[in-house]
Amino acid sequence: MSTEQKVVIITGASQGIGAALVRAYRDRNYRVIATSRSIKESADAGIHTVAGDIGKPETAERVVREGLERFGRIDSLVNNAGVFTAKPFIDFTQEDYDQNLGVNVAGFFHITQRAAAEMLKQGSGHIVSITTSLVNQPIAGVPAALASLTKGGLNSVTQALAIEFAKSGVRVNAVSPGIIKTPMHPPETHAALSTPHPVGRMGETRDIVDAVLYLENAGFVTGEILHVDGGQNAGRW
């Protein structure tokens, strides 16, 4: 198969934002390596799926190896897989901790390390991670210390890697969403979940997709934490 088309890895790709990102990149003629625990095979020859736990190094190894075998290159990585657990800090369990660190941190580390190695070889690439605006703007009534601990780390490492890779042709950015309408949030919760945003509504999946695609094409942008949160990050309201 020709290796001229660009190739993107998308984690957490089976539903919600991840599935929308797969469609958006395919619409732009990217070939896609899509991974999640429950992802099914695709009839589209331009999509290669890998089912597995992204927090495990063996899954990351398979994703990159099979992607290279199938498409011959890796140009972009979207670290979309993530979990969010909201509860009082003293109520978090060891299981909560392990899950959040496993998906949000290990799930970033293993796949990013392997994808970045390929990008550095070819002298170009783009890595973007999905974090959360709660990292910078905590909200009373939404206790989410594990999100701050894990997603806050992603914001920091985004800037660290942007500097480390700055002269290599590899850019590193993040999108920091507010609350987005996905299958995670039943319709009956939407009215209440609109209130934490100054603009008075939840975000749509397309808002995050548009932000990722902007960063994908913004060749002079690296180390950016792009807030897509209806004004949450602007301050208290």
Let me know if residue 234 belongs to a domain.
no
Number of domains in the chain: 1
Domain, as residue range, for 22: 7-182+205-228
**% the chain with pLDDT above 90:** 78
CA–CA separation, 21 vs 212, rounded Å? 8
Let me know if residue 191 belongs to a domain.
no
CA–CA separation, 155 vs 170, rounded Å? 17
- Residue 201: CB partners within 8 Å, gap ≥ 6? 194, 230
Let me know if residue 15 belongs to a domain.
yes
Length of the chain: 237
Q: Is 154 exposed, middle or buried (CB count within 10 Å of its CB: 0-12, 13-18, 19+)?
A: buried
Let me know if residue 193 belongs to a domain.
no
Q: Is the dihedral of CA 101, 112, 214, 67 positive or negative?
A: negative
Let me know if residue 56 belongs to a domain.
yes
36-61 residue pLDDT tens: 999 999 999 999 999 999 999 999 99
Question: Quick one: pLDDT band at residue 178, thresholds 50, 70, 90?
Answer: confident
Let me know if residue 101 belongs to a domain.
yes
119-136 residue pLDDT tens: 999 999 999 999 998 888
Let me know if residue 2 belongs to a domain.
no
The total of other beta-carbon atoms located within 10 Å of residue 50's CB is 22
pLDDT at residue 2, as a whole number: 52
Let me know if residue 57 belongs to a domain.
yes
Answering whether pTM is above 0.85, one says yes
CATH number at residue 83: 3.40.50.720
Question: Quick one: pLDDT band at residue 237, thresholds 50, 70, 90?
Answer: low
Question: Quick one: pLDDT band at residue 7, thresholds 50, 70, 90?
Answer: very high
